[in-house]
A and B are shown apart, each in its own frame.
Chain A
Amino acid sequence: AQSVTQLDSQVPVFEEAPVELRCNYSSSVSVYLFWYVQYPNQGLQLLLKYLSGSTLVKGINGFEAEFNKSQTSFHLRKPSVHISDTAEYFCAVSDRNTNAGKSTFGDGTTLTVKP
């Protein structure tokens, strides 16, 4: 079984400030890790993913995330946010060990960037 906990349901931040969205996961098997973004009235789209290798992964729009195996975390960061980053962000995990790897999502974090 897998679970994903996003530690902040809402994160307000001023434009050009740094931001961190926190994600912890629990799983009895090895997993792949993802961050997706959902803009208003749209479906989800991929920000970045961790499959293997370097624990620091870079994604689109200047976002990056660091996989910490000992902490079972995958926090998302951006050094300077823009108004256009206002959206809902979802952390997700997928099972590595099957050919039907179900994806489990966190409850989401709403990032609001203020001018």
Chain B
Amino acid sequence: NAGVTQTPKFQVLKTGQSMTLQCAQDMNHEYMSWYRQDPGMGLRLIHYSVGAGITDQGEVPNGYNVSRSTTEDFPLRLLSAAPSQTSVYFCASRPDGSGANVLTFGAGSRLTVL
């Protein structure tokens, strides 16, 4: 099925642990992005990429790293998890960088940091 696939759906970490949230899309979209969703705060952009080898910071990048080695994949890395990173994370893609294009979202990854 075409779309954006996120793994894992749920994850519990201890403070200081590291992990990677995976995101893959099979629509040949150039633009990919990561958002976090917190109650009452909507979606906030963490990092985004306009193509393989190109990444940039969004609104809340601290504590997160990304890379884009292929068009299909855009993993989000937490190097040393903190309780403040407890959130639901969404990966979203669109055909290119134009803001006119609609974002296609994954189903989300719920992360709890103890």
- Physical interaction between A and B: yes
> A34 an interface residue at 8 Å Cβ cutoff?
yes
Which residues of A are interface residues toward B (Cβ below 8 A)? Answer: 4, 6, 9, 31-32, 34, 36, 41-46, 49, 51, 90, 94-96, 98-108
**Contacts A43-B108, A44-B90, A98-B97 given; does A103 touch B103 at CB 8 Å:** yes
Residues of A within 8 A of B42 (CB): 4, 6, 90, 105-108
Residues of A within 8 A of B98 (CB): 99, 101
B107 in contact with A103 (CB, 8 Å)? no
Q: B74: CB under 8 A from chain A? A: no
A51 to B102, CA, bound (A): 11
Contact of A43 with B102 in the complex, beta carbons under 8 Å = no
Taking CB atoms, residues of chain B closer than 8 Å to A43 are 4, 90, 92, 105-108
Question: Whose C-beta in chain B lies nearest to the C-beta of A103?
Answer: B103
Instruction: Write the chain A residue with the least CB distance to B106.
Output: A43
- Of B35, B40, B90, B102, which one neighbours A107 at CB under 8 angstroms? B40
Interface residues of B in 72-93 (CB under 8 A from A): 90, 92
- What would be 28 A-B contacts, judged by CB atoms less than 8 Å apart? A31-B99, A32-B99, A34-B102, A36-B103, A42-B107, A43-B107, A44-B43, A44-B90, A46-B102, A46-B103, A51-B100, A94-B100, A95-B99, A96-B99, A98-B99, A99-B50, A99-B98, A100-B31, A100-B97, A101-B97, A101-B100, A102-B33, A102-B45, A102-B99, A103-B33, A103-B45, A106-B42, A107-B42
